[in-house]
Amino acid sequence: ETGVTQTPRHLVMGMTNKKSLKCEQHLGHNAMYWYKQSAKKPLELMFVYSLEERVENNSVPSRFSPECPNSSHLFLHLHTLQPEDSALYLCASSQDHPGTEAFFGQGTRLTVV
Amino acid sequence: GQNIDQPTEMTATEGAIVQINCTYQTSGFNGLFWYQQHAGEAPTFLSYNVLDGLEEKGRFSSFLSRSKGYSYLLLKELQMKDSASYLCAVTTRADRGSTLGRLYFGRGTQLTVWP
């Protein structure tokens, strides 16, 4: 248990569905992240959030939209996804920017059919 | 951009020593992490190097040379449970006008430990 909780653990959705991934941390961290992990590829940084700002990877399609309502919660809203979006989506948090250890959630295994 | 290279796979036997290398080319380098990830699980922190030199923590040690853009993770007295993917990750300083740095990962090295 890392202190970062992701739900759901598994998700199967059609290309026309809308779903949301949830991440929660109670470690008192200031920064939260979404990563995508596909087979045989590096962990891909999608979004970085703090209370003051959001930083995004410009290569992430607009069908992924993050939301960070407070310092403890992070969502990833999904709509009209493609089969190639099937992957493990990992949430992480750290104190301030990543000059300190990032703690990862267990991930959501997403399958788009 | 960021370029982080590490071998795809390595194998070793129980009780042996293995060294996993990582080279990187990155702008705004701040520090380097090593993470361990077992299949189907979240990455877990192993080490963090900011300054040149060797950091030792039990059976695991990590080395960094900033001038060479090079790091290695050394695993001693290997155990079967050490079979996992080992991820090299680089942190970068925040861009001007931002408070957030970045954490970029390599592809990971899949280590298999044989009895």
Q: Quick one: pLDDT band at residue A97, thresholds 50, 70, 90? A: low
Express each pLDDT in A47-75 by its tens digit.
Answer: 988 777 777 777 899 999 999 988 899 99
Q: A19: which strand partners?
A: A78
Strands (E), chain A: 4-7, 10-13, 18-25, 31-37, 44-49, 54-56, 64-70, 73-79, 87-94, 103-104, 108-112
Q: Which residues are CB-contacts of A27 (< 8 A; sequence separation ≥ 6)?
A: A3, A4, A93, A95, A103
Interface touch A97/B105, C-beta < 8 Å: no
Interface touch A102/B33, C-beta < 8 Å: yes
Express each pLDDT in A11-23 by its tens digit.
Answer: 999 998 899 999 9
Chain A residues with CB-CB distance to B98 below 8 A: 53, 55
CA dist., res. B64 & res. B76, Å (int): 18
Q: For residue B89, which of B113, B75, B109 has the smallest C-alpha distance? A: B109
CA distances from A1 to A34, A105, B25, B41, B89 (A): 18, 8, 33, 11, 21
Interface touch A52/B106, C-beta < 8 Å: no
In eight-state DSSP terms, residue A84 is: G
**Closest-CA residue of chain B to A37:** B107
Interface touch A45/B102, C-beta < 8 Å: yes
Interface touch B99/A52, C-beta < 8 Å: yes
- Å between A51 CA and nearest CA of chain B: 10
B96 pLDDT higher than 70: no
Q: So what's the pLDDT on residue B1?
A: 60
Sign of CA dihedral B80, A110, B44, B64: positive
**Closest-CA residue of chain B to A30:** B100
Phi, psi torsion values for B19, nearest 5 degrees: -120, 125
Count Cβ–Cβ pairs < 8 Å, chain A vs chain B: 68
In eight-state DSSP terms, residue A80 is: S
| B30 compared with B87, residue with greater pLDDT | B87
A96 pLDDT higher than 80: no
Phi, psi torsion values for B82, nearest 5 degrees: -80, -5
